[in-house]
Chain A
Amino acid sequence: MSTYSVSDGTAAAAPRAAVTFADLSGSYGVGLAASLVWLAFGLSCLYWPDVGDWSRTGSLGIGAIVIAAFILFGTFSADYLGSAGQALRKRAPWLVAFGAFVTLWEVATAKFAWLPLPFFPPPQSILEVYTDDLPKLLDSVFASIKLQLGGYIIGATVGFITGVSIGWSQKIGYWVHPVLRFIGPLPATAWLPIAFFTFPSSWSASTFLIALATGFPVTVLTWSGVASVSSAYYDVARTLGAKPSFLVLKVAIPAALPHVFVGLFMGLGSSFAVLVVAEMIGVKAGLGWYLQWAQGWAAYANMYAALIVMSLLCSGAITLLFRTRDRLLVWQKGVVKW
């Protein structure tokens, strides 16, 4: 960040009224290129006939031109837009690359059909899914979030408490550890057939499986975190008058927190996998089910549309987890930025 604020300082020092040739090839040039690429994409949608019949080609073209206009405006007024302007300038090379990618995609599918249809739909048919099939897609998104959140919270809570218990108490460890070793490494999806007939509903079965997939890594990492806390911390706290509850809550758990977050991250990854499989096989809702349904109807555009949404959701969940971690672990040096 600091390097950007330095270049920002030099840009602000230059007279703003006159845009020189050096500016065009430098800080403005990339933004200008991004704008041109998006304009080209928009024009190709509007004035180059498609090989097939897609209803949203015109709207896509107008949308692309609007984006091109925004980029153009943002590029030349970045200095007045504060942090948003700086963010735009920083991402300008990506806007060029992404614009080039969608243009290529458009040309390779809708214009020349180099990629076989219907397996590779053009961008406008994805847009069509988002506009025309929105209610069903949103229902699926909410169903997925509900299922994932419930299972994840249960799994993370149980895993955390189990991990702290076996890390702290040898007696509990004696009984829980063998069970953990036996059940934990089993992929949660292996329980699928059993879970679906033992649980009263496919929803509760899936919640159980997601909780199981989350719980194992959270338990193991919390446990190792608590077990690896230096005994010097306990000595210090005990000489200062700490009782066992203080040692657990104020020493063991904060010291283990970096490990716990690794467990939560790993648990999140494996629970996504279980979520999608559970939705494809048992639950009649959610993005996994939507994918399955789209495949049944050979609606490939719907599949890509659902995949994009799913990717954004999973990435968003991980971002949220990392933000929480950064907030709780400000005392750590050099944490990875997601």
Chain B
Amino acid sequence: MVVQSAAEAITYPAVGAELDIEGVSHAFDIDGAVLPVLDNVNLSIAPGEFVALLGPSGCGKSTLLRLVAGLEKPRTGALREDEARITGPYPSRVVVFQDPTLFPWRTVWDNVALGLEAQGILKTQRHRVDAVIELVGLSSFRNAYPHQLSGGMAQRVALARALVNDPKILVLDEPLGKLDSLTRIAMQSELVALWQRKGFTTLLVTHDVEEALVLANRVIVLSDRPARIKADIAVGRPYPRHRGDPYLAELRKQILGLLGLEATW
């Protein structure tokens, strides 16, 4: 296990929740065969921390996120949000998926309002929807339908739909994976700005080593399926970070080595 000390102490706002993953193993039954996906994963995330999960394709990262979200229950082990055991989905832990999955029959505004509507508090909280649409810069598209949006705009709406619930833990499942590289770089900066402003705990799954290093306080490297934690790397650099930073380049080399890709460096 590779552990690096943080270069500087980072203070977190009090909004985020602590997330504990304790001895979690999970498996799927596929045509009668048991396919193990997660193998005794232990991870403790401090309130307000930004943690990136890196791992080979199909290693079980997204499954771990589904467990955190409460969409599935682990076979063994437990997940806790602020000491309380996670037993099902709850709007304090919101997921942004790789596909924006906007509801095509709802306008941008109605999509963002979804969470508040589902919780039955939309009537008194309409201003929160307006505010968060403003925050992601889509005020002029509030009445547009999803098919009228570009990929980056749709993903921004998905982000707004998550943020309107004031989540304590924001779970991001490769949310920028399908965007073009320019939009992705722009949205990475926006994501950091939002996280710094709001102070929620963030758990990001990504394929992109550079993205993980630019965004996260800690990078968790997972093994092939069934996923185990291979390394827990603290990224001790202040924000905004620069892609050309030699410190990050060194970390990148190290992580690619852990992923068995040192030859590509």
Contacts and interface: CB of A to CB of B under 8 A. Distances in A.
Are both chains from one complex? yes
Interface of A: 230, 232-233, 235-243, 246, 250-251, 254-255, 257, 329-333
A329 B147 CA distance: 13
A172 to B, nearest CB: 24
Interface in B156-190: 161, 165
A167 B253 CA distance: 51
Q: Is the interface of A mostly helix, strand, loop or mixed?
A: helix
B70 to A, nearest CB: 8
B116 to A, nearest CB: 9
Contact of A241 (B89, B103, B104): B89
Contacts of B104: 331-332
Contacts, number: 67
Interface string B80-107: 0000000001110111010101011110
B191 interface: no
A241 B90 contact: yes
A22 to B, nearest CB: 42
17 contacts: A232-B101, A233-B101, A233-B103, A238-B89, A239-B93, A239-B95, A240-B91, A241-B89, A241-B90, A241-B115, A241-B119, A241-B165, A242-B114, A246-B117, A250-B117, A330-B145, A331-B145
A239 B114 contact: no
Nearest to A332: B104
Nearest to B118: A242
Contact of B118 (A235, A243, A255): A243
A43 B8 CA distance: 100
B68 to A, nearest CB: 10
Nearest to B165: A240
Contacts of A237: 114, 118
A331 B111 CA distance: 13
B24 interface: no
B147 A333 contact: yes
A239 B103 contact: no
A331 to B, nearest CB: 5
A117 B127 CA distance: 75
Contacts of B71: 235, 238-239
A243 B101 CA distance: 18
Contacts of A332: 104
A235 B117 contact: no
B145 A236 contact: no
Given A246-B118, A331-B145, A236 B101 contact: yes
A240 B103 contact: no
Contacts of B145: 330-331
Contact of A240 (B106, B147, B161): B161
B79 interface: no
Contact of A257 (B94, B105, B114, B115): B105
Contacts of A232: 97, 99, 101
B101 A251 contact: no
Nearest to B90: A241
Contacts of A251: 103
Interface string B116-157: 011100000000000000000000000001110000000000
Contacts of A250: 117-118
Contacts of A254: 103, 105-106
Contacts of A330: 145
Given A246-B118, A250-B117, A239 B69 contact: yes
Closest 5 CB pairs of A and B: A240-B115, A241-B91, A242-B118, A238-B89, A241-B119
Contacts of A236: 95, 97, 101, 114, 161
A246 B146 CA distance: 21
Contacts of B105: 254-255, 257, 329, 331
Contacts of B101: 230, 232-233, 235-236
Contacts of B95: 235-236, 239
Interface string B55-76: 0000000000000011100000
